Structure 1
Amino acid sequence: MHVLVTNDDGIDSPGLWALAGAIRATGAQVSVVAPAEEQSAMSMALPPLTNRELRAIIPPPELDGMLAFAHNGSPVSCVTVAIRSGVLPPIDAVVAGINRGLNSGTNVMLSGTVGAAMIGALWGYPAMAVSLQYRGPEPMPWSTAAYVAQRLFPLLEQIRGHEPLVLNVNVPHLPSPSDIRGFRQTRLSEFFFGHYVDIDLHPPAPVERTQITFRFARERLPTFAIDTDDGAVLAGYVSVTPLRPMIDGSPIRLELPEQV
Protein backbone atom coordinates (compact mmCIF):
# COMPACT_ATOMS: atom_id res chain seq x y z
CA MET A 1 0.00 0.00 0.00
CA HIS A 2 1.24 3.48 -0.90
CA VAL A 3 0.21 6.09 1.69
CA LEU A 4 0.31 9.86 1.32
CA VAL A 5 1.21 11.58 4.61
CA THR A 6 0.51 15.29 5.01
CA ASN A 7 -0.36 17.82 7.72
CA ASP A 8 -1.26 21.45 8.41
CA ASP A 9 1.58 22.28 10.83
CA GLY A 10 4.10 22.37 8.00
CA ILE A 11 6.98 20.33 6.62
CA ASP A 12 9.18 21.06 9.68
CA SER A 13 6.74 19.67 12.24
CA PRO A 14 8.14 16.71 14.22
CA GLY A 15 4.62 15.26 14.28
CA LEU A 16 4.66 14.89 10.49
CA TRP A 17 7.83 12.82 10.49
CA ALA A 18 6.77 10.78 13.51
CA LEU A 19 3.61 9.86 11.58
CA ALA A 20 5.51 9.06 8.38
CA GLY A 21 7.82 6.75 10.33
CA ALA A 22 4.94 5.05 12.10
CA ILE A 23 3.10 4.33 8.86
CA ARG A 24 6.25 3.08 7.15
CA ALA A 25 6.85 0.74 10.09
CA THR A 26 3.65 -1.08 9.09
CA GLY A 27 5.34 -2.10 5.84
CA ALA A 28 3.53 0.48 3.72
CA GLN A 29 5.24 2.66 1.16
CA VAL A 30 5.03 6.28 2.34
CA SER A 31 5.40 9.59 0.53
CA VAL A 32 5.09 13.06 2.06
CA VAL A 33 3.65 16.24 0.55
CA ALA A 34 3.16 18.90 3.23
CA PRO A 35 2.86 22.70 3.44
CA ALA A 36 6.13 24.61 3.26
CA GLU A 37 4.90 26.71 6.20
CA GLU A 38 2.26 26.25 8.88
CA GLN A 39 -1.27 26.22 7.47
CA SER A 40 -3.29 25.52 10.65
CA ALA A 41 -7.05 26.18 10.68
CA MET A 42 -7.21 26.28 6.87
CA SER A 43 -10.05 23.73 6.84
CA MET A 44 -10.66 22.76 3.19
CA ALA A 45 -9.34 26.00 1.72
CA LEU A 46 -7.95 25.67 -1.80
CA PRO A 47 -6.05 28.84 -2.74
CA PRO A 48 -5.38 29.50 -6.44
CA LEU A 49 -2.90 26.93 -7.69
CA THR A 50 -1.13 29.36 -10.03
CA ASN A 51 2.43 30.39 -9.18
CA ARG A 52 2.78 27.62 -6.61
CA GLU A 53 5.99 25.70 -5.98
CA LEU A 54 6.82 22.11 -5.13
CA ARG A 55 10.32 21.41 -3.88
CA ALA A 56 11.93 18.14 -2.91
CA ILE A 57 12.83 17.70 0.78
CA ILE A 58 15.42 15.41 2.30
CA PRO A 59 13.60 13.41 5.01
CA PRO A 60 15.21 12.57 8.37
CA PRO A 61 17.98 9.94 8.12
CA GLU A 62 15.80 7.19 9.59
CA LEU A 63 13.35 7.74 6.72
CA ASP A 64 15.99 7.66 3.99
CA GLY A 65 14.61 6.89 0.55
CA MET A 66 11.15 8.33 1.20
CA LEU A 67 9.81 10.74 -1.41
CA ALA A 68 9.05 14.06 0.32
CA PHE A 69 7.98 17.47 -0.99
CA ALA A 70 7.14 20.89 0.46
CA HIS A 71 4.34 22.79 -1.27
CA ASN A 72 3.60 26.46 -0.66
CA GLY A 73 -0.13 25.88 -0.47
CA SER A 74 -2.85 24.66 1.88
CA PRO A 75 -3.19 21.08 3.16
CA VAL A 76 -5.97 20.47 0.63
CA SER A 77 -3.81 21.69 -2.22
CA CYS A 78 -0.97 19.43 -0.98
CA VAL A 79 -3.23 16.41 -1.31
CA THR A 80 -4.59 17.58 -4.66
CA VAL A 81 -1.08 18.09 -6.04
CA ALA A 82 0.05 14.72 -4.70
CA ILE A 83 -2.86 12.94 -6.37
CA ARG A 84 -3.11 14.83 -9.66
CA SER A 85 0.35 16.10 -10.58
CA GLY A 86 2.04 12.76 -11.29
CA VAL A 87 4.97 13.61 -9.03
CA LEU A 88 4.14 10.53 -6.89
CA PRO A 89 3.24 6.98 -7.84
CA PRO A 90 -0.51 6.31 -7.46
CA ILE A 91 -1.53 6.39 -3.79
CA ASP A 92 -3.91 4.09 -1.90
CA ALA A 93 -4.69 6.09 1.27
CA VAL A 94 -4.26 9.51 2.91
CA VAL A 95 -3.14 10.02 6.52
CA ALA A 96 -2.83 13.54 7.97
CA GLY A 97 -1.08 14.68 11.15
CA ILE A 98 0.16 14.31 13.75
CA ASN A 99 -1.48 17.62 14.62
CA ARG A 100 -0.21 19.70 17.54
CA GLY A 101 -3.48 19.94 19.48
CA LEU A 102 -6.83 18.16 19.39
CA ASN A 103 -9.22 18.39 16.47
CA SER A 104 -12.46 17.61 18.24
CA GLY A 105 -16.02 18.92 18.43
CA THR A 106 -16.76 21.70 15.98
CA ASN A 107 -13.02 22.28 15.56
CA VAL A 108 -13.07 19.58 12.88
CA MET A 109 -14.69 22.15 10.57
CA LEU A 110 -11.70 24.48 11.01
CA SER A 111 -8.90 21.94 10.96
CA GLY A 112 -6.49 21.80 8.04
CA THR A 113 -5.48 18.32 9.24
CA VAL A 114 -9.04 17.05 8.97
CA GLY A 115 -9.49 19.03 5.74
CA ALA A 116 -6.55 17.23 4.14
CA ALA A 117 -7.99 13.84 5.12
CA MET A 118 -11.45 14.91 3.96
CA ILE A 119 -10.30 15.85 0.46
CA GLY A 120 -8.56 12.49 0.27
CA ALA A 121 -11.84 10.79 1.16
CA LEU A 122 -13.65 12.82 -1.49
CA TRP A 123 -11.11 11.61 -4.04
CA GLY A 124 -12.15 8.10 -3.02
CA TYR A 125 -9.31 7.07 -0.70
CA PRO A 126 -9.57 5.72 2.84
CA ALA A 127 -8.38 8.55 5.05
CA MET A 128 -7.35 9.21 8.65
CA ALA A 129 -6.52 12.39 10.60
CA VAL A 130 -4.41 12.06 13.77
CA SER A 131 -4.19 14.79 16.44
CA LEU A 132 -2.41 14.92 19.80
CA GLN A 133 -3.63 16.81 22.86
CA TYR A 134 -1.63 19.95 23.64
CA ARG A 135 -0.70 20.92 27.19
CA GLY A 136 1.08 24.24 27.07
CA PRO A 137 4.81 24.03 27.79
CA GLU A 138 4.84 20.25 28.34
CA PRO A 139 6.79 18.33 25.66
CA MET A 140 4.59 16.74 23.03
CA PRO A 141 4.67 12.92 23.31
CA TRP A 142 4.82 12.35 19.57
CA SER A 143 5.82 8.71 20.03
CA THR A 144 2.52 7.98 21.83
CA ALA A 145 0.49 9.36 18.92
CA ALA A 146 2.74 7.60 16.40
CA TYR A 147 2.09 4.31 18.18
CA VAL A 148 -1.67 4.97 18.00
CA ALA A 149 -1.48 5.74 14.28
CA GLN A 150 0.36 2.49 13.68
CA ARG A 151 -2.18 0.46 15.70
CA LEU A 152 -5.14 2.05 13.88
CA PHE A 153 -3.62 1.88 10.41
CA PRO A 154 -5.42 -1.43 9.61
CA LEU A 155 -8.75 0.41 9.97
CA LEU A 156 -8.09 2.01 6.59
CA GLU A 157 -8.69 -1.36 4.97
CA GLN A 158 -11.92 -1.73 6.98
CA ILE A 159 -13.34 1.44 5.46
CA ARG A 160 -12.01 0.97 1.91
CA GLY A 161 -14.92 0.95 -0.49
CA HIS A 162 -17.32 2.75 1.88
CA GLU A 163 -18.84 6.09 0.95
CA PRO A 164 -16.39 8.98 1.64
CA LEU A 165 -15.29 8.60 5.25
CA VAL A 166 -12.56 10.04 7.48
CA LEU A 167 -11.39 8.45 10.70
CA ASN A 168 -10.73 11.39 13.02
CA VAL A 169 -8.31 10.21 15.72
CA ASN A 170 -7.54 12.22 18.86
CA VAL A 171 -4.83 11.05 21.25
CA PRO A 172 -4.49 12.05 24.92
CA HIS A 173 -1.29 13.77 26.05
CA LEU A 174 0.33 10.78 27.76
CA PRO A 175 4.07 10.03 27.99
CA SER A 176 3.80 6.37 27.02
CA PRO A 177 1.38 4.18 25.05
CA SER A 178 1.08 2.02 28.15
CA ASP A 179 -0.68 4.94 29.87
CA ILE A 180 -3.55 4.91 27.34
CA ARG A 181 -6.73 3.41 28.80
CA GLY A 182 -7.94 2.06 25.46
CA PHE A 183 -9.67 2.96 22.21
CA ARG A 184 -13.22 4.29 21.88
CA GLN A 185 -15.41 4.95 18.87
CA THR A 186 -16.95 8.33 19.62
CA ARG A 187 -19.20 11.08 18.35
CA LEU A 188 -18.29 14.75 18.08
CA SER A 189 -18.67 16.77 21.26
CA GLU A 190 -20.61 20.01 21.20
CA PHE A 191 -17.48 22.01 21.97
CA PHE A 192 -17.28 25.31 20.05
CA PHE A 193 -14.07 27.26 20.56
CA GLY A 194 -15.88 30.59 20.09
CA HIS A 195 -17.55 30.25 23.48
CA TYR A 196 -14.14 30.16 25.21
CA VAL A 197 -12.19 32.87 23.44
CA ASP A 198 -11.74 36.27 25.08
CA ILE A 199 -10.66 39.17 22.87
CA ASP A 200 -9.07 42.31 24.27
CA LEU A 201 -8.41 45.51 22.34
CA HIS A 202 -5.39 47.71 23.11
CA PRO A 203 -6.30 50.53 23.43
CA PRO A 204 -9.80 49.44 24.50
CA ALA A 205 -11.68 51.83 22.18
CA PRO A 206 -11.66 51.18 18.41
CA VAL A 207 -9.09 53.34 16.63
CA GLU A 208 -7.36 53.24 13.27
CA ARG A 209 -4.73 50.79 14.49
CA THR A 210 -5.61 48.57 17.46
CA GLN A 211 -3.72 45.63 18.92
CA ILE A 212 -5.88 42.54 19.50
CA THR A 213 -5.13 39.89 22.13
CA PHE A 214 -6.80 36.48 21.96
CA ARG A 215 -6.98 34.32 25.09
CA PHE A 216 -8.41 30.82 25.30
CA ALA A 217 -10.29 30.57 28.61
CA ARG A 218 -9.57 26.96 29.58
CA GLU A 219 -11.02 27.56 33.05
CA ARG A 220 -14.50 27.81 31.49
CA LEU A 221 -14.38 24.48 29.68
CA PRO A 222 -17.38 22.24 30.46
CA THR A 223 -17.38 18.53 31.18
CA PHE A 224 -17.93 16.16 28.25
CA ALA A 225 -19.73 12.83 27.99
CA ILE A 226 -17.42 9.82 27.72
CA ASP A 227 -18.92 8.83 24.36
CA THR A 228 -17.73 12.09 22.78
CA ASP A 229 -14.28 12.74 21.35
CA ASP A 230 -13.39 15.37 23.97
CA GLY A 231 -14.78 13.26 26.79
CA ALA A 232 -12.87 10.15 25.76
CA VAL A 233 -9.55 11.99 25.45
CA LEU A 234 -9.96 13.73 28.81
CA ALA A 235 -10.60 10.30 30.36
CA GLY A 236 -7.37 8.93 28.87
CA TYR A 237 -8.78 7.09 25.84
CA VAL A 238 -7.93 7.37 22.17
CA SER A 239 -10.98 8.77 20.40
CA VAL A 240 -11.87 7.50 16.90
CA THR A 241 -14.73 9.43 15.27
CA PRO A 242 -15.96 8.54 11.77
CA LEU A 243 -16.68 11.72 9.79
CA ARG A 244 -18.60 11.90 6.53
CA PRO A 245 -18.42 14.83 4.10
CA MET A 246 -21.82 13.78 2.70
CA ILE A 247 -25.10 14.11 4.60
CA ASP A 248 -26.41 10.67 3.75
CA GLY A 249 -24.61 7.44 4.48
CA SER A 250 -25.08 4.25 6.43
CA PRO A 251 -23.66 3.86 9.96
CA ILE A 252 -20.34 2.08 10.36
CA ARG A 253 -19.11 0.12 13.35
CA LEU A 254 -15.32 -0.06 13.61
CA GLU A 255 -13.43 -3.07 14.93
CA LEU A 256 -11.07 -1.17 17.26
CA PRO A 257 -8.13 -2.83 19.03
CA GLU A 258 -9.20 -4.39 22.32
CA GLN A 259 -5.99 -3.55 24.16
CA VAL A 260 -3.33 -0.89 24.03
Structure 2
Amino acid sequence: MRALITNDDGIDSPGLLALALAAVDCGLDVVVAAPSVQASGTSASVAAVGDTGRVVSERRSLPGLDAEAYAVAAHPGLISLIACRGGFGGKPDVVLSGVNLGANVGRAVVHSGTVGAALTAQVNDVSALAVSLDVGLDSPDPLWDNAAVAVRAVLPALLDMPAATVLSLNVPNVPQVRGLRWADLARFGTVQSRVDDVGDNEVELVHVYSEDDPTPGSDAALLDEGYATLTALQSVSAVPTTTGLPSPAWPAG
Protein backbone atom coordinates (compact mmCIF):
# COMPACT_ATOMS: atom_id res chain seq x y z
CA MET A 1 0.00 0.00 0.00
CA ARG A 2 1.11 3.54 -0.76
CA ALA A 3 1.19 6.37 1.79
CA LEU A 4 1.59 10.10 1.34
CA ILE A 5 3.49 11.65 4.26
CA THR A 6 2.89 15.36 4.83
CA ASN A 7 2.74 17.88 7.67
CA ASP A 8 2.33 21.56 8.46
CA ASP A 9 5.66 22.11 10.23
CA GLY A 10 7.63 21.88 7.00
CA ILE A 11 9.89 19.48 5.17
CA ASP A 12 12.73 19.82 7.69
CA SER A 13 10.69 18.81 10.76
CA PRO A 14 12.05 15.76 12.64
CA GLY A 15 8.43 14.73 13.22
CA LEU A 16 7.89 14.29 9.49
CA LEU A 17 10.84 11.91 9.27
CA ALA A 18 9.67 9.99 12.35
CA LEU A 19 6.24 9.48 10.75
CA ALA A 20 7.69 8.39 7.42
CA LEU A 21 10.00 5.85 9.07
CA ALA A 22 7.11 4.47 11.17
CA ALA A 23 5.07 4.01 7.98
CA VAL A 24 7.96 2.14 6.36
CA ASP A 25 8.18 -0.08 9.45
CA CYS A 26 4.50 -0.93 8.85
CA GLY A 27 5.32 -2.12 5.33
CA LEU A 28 4.02 0.88 3.40
CA ASP A 29 5.53 2.35 0.25
CA VAL A 30 5.91 6.04 1.12
CA VAL A 31 6.31 9.32 -0.69
CA VAL A 32 6.95 12.49 1.28
CA ALA A 33 5.50 15.81 0.14
CA ALA A 34 5.53 18.57 2.74
CA PRO A 35 5.48 22.37 2.77
CA SER A 36 8.79 24.02 2.03
CA VAL A 37 8.12 26.47 4.89
CA GLN A 38 6.12 26.49 8.12
CA ALA A 39 2.37 26.23 7.42
CA SER A 40 0.79 25.77 10.85
CA GLY A 41 -2.76 26.98 11.33
CA THR A 42 -3.67 26.74 7.66
CA SER A 43 -6.51 24.25 8.22
CA ALA A 44 -7.58 22.69 4.89
CA SER A 45 -6.40 25.67 2.84
CA VAL A 46 -5.61 24.86 -0.77
CA ALA A 47 -3.37 27.88 -1.20
CA ALA A 48 0.01 27.73 -2.89
CA VAL A 49 2.94 30.02 -2.21
CA GLY A 50 3.07 32.63 -4.98
CA ASP A 51 0.46 33.94 -7.39
CA THR A 52 1.24 32.08 -10.62
CA GLY A 53 -1.34 29.35 -10.04
CA ARG A 54 1.41 26.73 -10.35
CA VAL A 55 2.65 24.60 -7.47
CA VAL A 56 6.44 24.40 -7.34
CA SER A 57 8.21 21.49 -5.70
CA GLU A 58 11.84 20.56 -5.11
CA ARG A 59 13.28 17.06 -4.71
CA ARG A 60 14.81 16.42 -1.29
CA SER A 61 16.50 13.54 0.48
CA LEU A 62 15.69 12.80 4.12
CA PRO A 63 18.29 11.10 6.35
CA GLY A 64 17.78 7.36 6.72
CA LEU A 65 14.74 7.30 4.41
CA ASP A 66 14.94 5.58 1.02
CA ALA A 67 11.90 7.24 -0.56
CA GLU A 68 10.93 10.12 -2.80
CA ALA A 69 10.61 13.40 -0.94
CA TYR A 70 9.45 16.81 -2.13
CA ALA A 71 9.51 20.28 -0.56
CA VAL A 72 6.35 21.88 -1.90
CA ALA A 73 5.49 25.57 -2.03
CA ALA A 74 1.95 24.95 -0.80
CA HIS A 75 -0.15 24.38 2.29
CA PRO A 76 -0.66 20.78 3.48
CA GLY A 77 -4.33 20.77 2.45
CA LEU A 78 -3.36 21.48 -1.15
CA ILE A 79 -0.55 18.90 -1.02
CA SER A 80 -3.06 16.30 0.17
CA LEU A 81 -5.50 17.29 -2.58
CA ILE A 82 -2.84 17.07 -5.28
CA ALA A 83 -1.77 13.63 -4.05
CA CYS A 84 -5.34 12.33 -3.89
CA ARG A 85 -5.85 13.51 -7.48
CA GLY A 86 -2.85 11.50 -8.66
CA GLY A 87 0.10 13.83 -8.08
CA PHE A 88 3.43 12.84 -6.52
CA GLY A 89 3.45 9.50 -8.28
CA GLY A 90 -0.18 8.41 -7.98
CA LYS A 91 -3.15 8.38 -5.61
CA PRO A 92 -2.20 7.09 -2.14
CA ASP A 93 -4.09 4.46 -0.18
CA VAL A 94 -3.63 6.52 2.98
CA VAL A 95 -2.48 10.02 3.92
CA LEU A 96 -0.38 10.39 7.07
CA SER A 97 0.00 13.93 8.43
CA GLY A 98 2.45 14.96 11.16
CA VAL A 99 4.04 14.37 13.50
CA ASN A 100 2.95 17.83 14.60
CA LEU A 101 5.01 19.73 17.15
CA GLY A 102 2.21 20.31 19.67
CA ALA A 103 -1.13 18.68 20.44
CA ASN A 104 -4.19 19.02 18.21
CA VAL A 105 -7.13 18.51 20.57
CA GLY A 106 -10.62 19.86 21.06
CA ARG A 107 -12.70 21.67 18.50
CA ALA A 108 -9.67 23.86 17.75
CA VAL A 109 -8.55 21.09 15.36
CA VAL A 110 -10.61 22.94 12.73
CA HIS A 111 -7.66 25.36 12.43
CA SER A 112 -4.90 22.74 12.22
CA GLY A 113 -2.99 22.25 9.00
CA THR A 114 -2.07 18.77 10.21
CA VAL A 115 -5.73 17.81 10.59
CA GLY A 116 -6.72 19.79 7.49
CA ALA A 117 -4.55 17.58 5.29
CA ALA A 118 -6.21 14.49 6.75
CA LEU A 119 -9.75 15.82 6.25
CA THR A 120 -8.90 16.83 2.69
CA ALA A 121 -7.98 13.21 2.05
CA GLN A 122 -11.33 12.11 3.44
CA VAL A 123 -13.37 14.22 1.02
CA ASN A 124 -11.35 12.53 -1.73
CA ASP A 125 -12.24 9.05 -0.42
CA VAL A 126 -8.82 8.35 1.10
CA SER A 127 -8.26 7.31 4.71
CA ALA A 128 -5.93 9.44 6.79
CA LEU A 129 -4.17 9.71 10.13
CA ALA A 130 -3.22 13.02 11.74
CA VAL A 131 -0.51 12.61 14.40
CA SER A 132 0.48 15.18 17.02
CA LEU A 133 2.95 15.17 19.91
CA ASP A 134 1.98 17.17 23.00
CA VAL A 135 5.02 19.43 23.15
CA GLY A 136 4.16 22.63 25.02
CA LEU A 137 6.08 25.77 25.87
CA ASP A 138 7.47 24.22 29.05
CA SER A 139 7.91 20.67 27.75
CA PRO A 140 11.21 18.81 27.52
CA ASP A 141 12.70 17.99 24.13
CA PRO A 142 10.25 16.25 21.77
CA LEU A 143 10.14 12.47 22.26
CA TRP A 144 9.52 11.60 18.61
CA ASP A 145 9.90 7.88 19.37
CA ASN A 146 6.71 8.07 21.47
CA ALA A 147 4.78 9.16 18.40
CA ALA A 148 6.42 6.51 16.21
CA VAL A 149 5.44 3.75 18.65
CA ALA A 150 1.84 4.99 18.67
CA VAL A 151 1.72 5.18 14.87
CA ARG A 152 2.98 1.62 14.52
CA ALA A 153 0.16 0.52 16.86
CA VAL A 154 -2.63 2.50 15.19
CA LEU A 155 -1.78 2.36 11.48
CA PRO A 156 -2.52 -1.36 10.89
CA ALA A 157 -5.94 -0.90 12.52
CA LEU A 158 -6.69 2.17 10.37
CA LEU A 159 -5.88 0.24 7.19
CA ASP A 160 -8.52 -2.35 8.18
CA MET A 161 -11.19 0.31 8.72
CA PRO A 162 -13.66 1.47 6.02
CA ALA A 163 -12.31 3.69 3.26
CA ALA A 164 -12.13 7.43 4.00
CA THR A 165 -11.77 6.92 7.76
CA VAL A 166 -9.90 9.77 9.46
CA LEU A 167 -8.28 9.40 12.88
CA SER A 168 -6.55 12.04 14.98
CA LEU A 169 -3.82 10.63 17.22
CA ASN A 170 -2.35 12.71 20.04
CA VAL A 171 0.63 11.41 22.00
CA PRO A 172 1.90 12.75 25.35
CA ASN A 173 5.49 13.93 25.47
CA VAL A 174 6.36 11.92 28.59
CA PRO A 175 8.86 9.09 29.14
CA GLN A 176 6.15 6.54 29.95
CA VAL A 177 2.85 6.67 28.03
CA ARG A 178 0.03 5.06 30.03
CA GLY A 179 -1.72 3.54 27.01
CA LEU A 180 -4.08 4.40 24.18
CA ARG A 181 -7.69 5.56 24.65
CA TRP A 182 -10.54 6.56 22.34
CA ALA A 183 -11.63 10.10 23.17
CA ASP A 184 -14.19 12.75 22.27
CA LEU A 185 -13.13 16.28 21.36
CA ALA A 186 -12.83 18.73 24.22
CA ARG A 187 -14.80 21.97 23.94
CA PHE A 188 -11.59 23.92 23.38
CA GLY A 189 -8.02 22.95 22.77
CA THR A 190 -5.27 23.25 25.34
CA VAL A 191 -4.30 26.55 23.71
CA GLN A 192 -6.77 29.31 22.91
CA SER A 193 -6.51 32.54 20.98
CA ARG A 194 -6.98 35.91 22.68
CA VAL A 195 -7.38 39.16 20.79
CA ASP A 196 -5.68 42.23 22.28
CA ASP A 197 -6.15 45.81 21.08
CA VAL A 198 -2.77 47.38 20.36
CA GLY A 199 -3.75 50.59 18.56
CA ASP A 200 -5.96 52.15 15.92
CA ASN A 201 -7.09 49.62 13.34
CA GLU A 202 -4.75 46.98 14.75
CA VAL A 203 -5.17 43.96 17.01
CA GLU A 204 -2.79 41.27 18.19
CA LEU A 205 -3.67 37.58 18.30
CA VAL A 206 -2.10 36.00 21.38
CA HIS A 207 -2.03 32.25 22.07
CA VAL A 208 -2.57 31.35 25.72
CA TYR A 209 -3.12 28.12 27.63
CA SER A 210 -6.77 27.43 28.45
CA GLU A 211 -7.67 28.17 32.07
CA ASP A 212 -10.66 25.82 31.98
CA ASP A 213 -10.34 22.23 33.13
CA PRO A 214 -11.02 19.90 30.16
CA THR A 215 -14.09 17.69 30.25
CA PRO A 216 -13.27 14.31 31.84
CA GLY A 217 -12.79 11.65 29.16
CA SER A 218 -12.10 14.21 26.44
CA ASP A 219 -8.94 14.14 24.34
CA ALA A 220 -7.44 17.08 26.24
CA ALA A 221 -8.15 15.50 29.65
CA LEU A 222 -6.82 12.05 28.77
CA LEU A 223 -3.71 13.53 27.17
CA ASP A 224 -3.05 15.47 30.39
CA GLU A 225 -3.34 12.16 32.26
CA GLY A 226 -0.57 10.61 30.17
CA TYR A 227 -2.65 8.65 27.66
CA ALA A 228 -2.30 8.72 23.91
CA THR A 229 -5.72 9.57 22.47
CA LEU A 230 -7.48 8.53 19.30
CA THR A 231 -10.46 10.41 17.85
CA ALA A 232 -12.40 9.63 14.69
CA LEU A 233 -13.14 12.79 12.71
CA GLN A 234 -15.76 13.59 10.10
CA SER A 235 -15.21 16.19 7.42
CA VAL A 236 -17.87 18.23 5.63
CA SER A 237 -21.36 16.75 5.82
CA ALA A 238 -24.88 18.16 5.79
CA VAL A 239 -27.01 18.35 8.93
CA PRO A 240 -30.09 16.14 8.39
CA THR A 241 -33.22 18.20 7.77
CA THR A 242 -35.05 15.97 10.21
CA THR A 243 -33.41 17.83 13.12
CA GLY A 244 -36.32 20.28 13.23
CA LEU A 245 -34.62 23.30 11.70
CA PRO A 246 -37.24 25.81 10.54
CA SER A 247 -37.74 26.30 6.80
CA PRO A 248 -37.13 29.86 5.62
CA ALA A 249 -39.97 31.51 3.72
CA TRP A 250 -39.19 32.46 0.13
CA PRO A 251 -40.02 36.14 -0.42
CA ALA A 252 -43.18 36.79 -2.43
CA GLY A 253 -42.42 38.10 -5.88
Tell me by how many angstroms 1:225 deviates. Answer: 3.1
Find the aligned partners of 2:216 and 2:24 in 1 and give their Cα distance: 32
SS for the counterpart of 1:131 is strand
Tell me by how many angstroms 1:195 deviates. Answer: 5.5
Find the aligned partners of 2:215 and 2:203 in 1 and give their Cα distance: 38
Tell me by how many angstroms 1:194 deviates. Answer: 8.0
Q: Kindly, what percent of the aligned residue pairs are identical?
A: 32
What TM-score, normalized by structure 1, do the two folds share? 0.83
Tell me by how many angstroms 1:213 deviates. Answer: 6.9
SS for the counterpart of 1:4 is strand
Find the aligned partners of 1:20 and 1:119 in 2 and give their Cα distance: 19
Q: Which moved more, 1:96-105 or 1:137-146?
A: 137-146
Kindly provide the amino acid, as one letter, of the partner of residue 126 in structure 1: S
Tell me by how many angstroms 1:110 deviates. Answer: 0.2
C-alpha RMSD over aligned residues: 2.3
Aligned pair count?
235
SS for the counterpart of 1:226 is coil
Find the aligned partners of 1:194 and 1:13 in 2 and give their Cα distance: 21
Q: Which residue, 195, 199, 213 being the options, matches 2:196?
A: 199
Find the aligned partners of 1:231 and 1:108 in 2 and give their Cα distance: 15
1:224-244 CA-to-partner distances (Å, cap 9, x unmatched) read: 233211011001111100001
Q: Residue in 2 aligned with 1:214?
A: 206
1:59 aligns with 2:62: yes
Kindly provide the amino acid, as one letter, of the partner of residue 223 in structure 2: V
1:137-191 CA-to-partner distances (Å, cap 9, x unmatched) read: 5211111111111111112223233xx431011111113xxx1111111110001
Q: Residue in 1 aligned with 2:250?
A: none
5+ residue gaps, structure 1:
250-260
SS for the counterpart of 2:79 is helix
Aligned ranges for residues 1-260 of structure 1 at < 5 Å?
1-47=1-47, 50-60=53-63, 62-64=64-66, 66-136=67-137, 138-161=140-163, 164-175=164-175, 179-191=176-188, 197=194, 199=196, 201=198, 206-207=199-200, 212=204, 214-216=206-208, 218=209, 221-247=211-237
1:12-67 CA-to-partner distances (Å, cap 9, x unmatched) read: 1110001101111111111111111011000011126713201111121x112x01
Given the superposition, is the C-alpha separation of residues 98 and 241 from structure 1 closer, same or farther in structure 2, using an over 3 Å criterion? same
Find the aligned partners of 2:108 and 2:25 in 1 and give their Cα distance: 30
Moved over 3 A (4+): 192-196, 210-213, 246-249
5+ residue gaps, structure 2:
240-253
Find the aligned partners of 1:231 and 1:212 in 2 and give their Cα distance: 29
